[in-house]
Chain A
Amino acid sequence: MMRVEVLFFGKLVDIAGASLQMNNVRSTDELLEQLRLQYPALAAEKFMIAVDKKTISTNTSLTENCTVALLPPFSGG
Chain B
Amino acid sequence: MDAAAKTNGVMEHKPKNIFTQGAIAATFIADSIAKHSSKTNIGGHSIFLGQVRADVINEKKVAAIEYTAYEELALKKMHVIREETFAKYDLTCMHVHHSLGTVPAGEICLFVFTSSAHRRAAIDACNEVVERIKTELPIWGKELFEDETHQWKVNQ
Contacts and interface: CB of A to CB of B under 8 A. Distances in A.
Given A9-B68, A10-B68, A10-B152, A74 B73 contact: no
B73 A73 contact: no
A14 B152 CA distance: 10
Contacts of A9: 68-70, 138, 140
A4 interface: no
Contact of B139 (A11, A13, A50, A75): A75
A77 B70 CA distance: 14
Contacts of A75: 139-141, 152-155
Chain A binding surface, main DSSP class: loop
Contacts, number: 65
B52 to A, nearest CB: 10
B39 interface: no
Bin the interface of chain B by size.
20 to 34
A71 to B, nearest CB: 5
A50 B109 CA distance: 26
Interface string A13-43: 1100000000000000000000000000000
Interface in B100-156: 109-110, 130, 133-142, 152-155
Contact of A73 (B76, B110, B142, B155): B155
Interface of A: 7, 9-11, 13-14, 50, 53, 69, 71-77
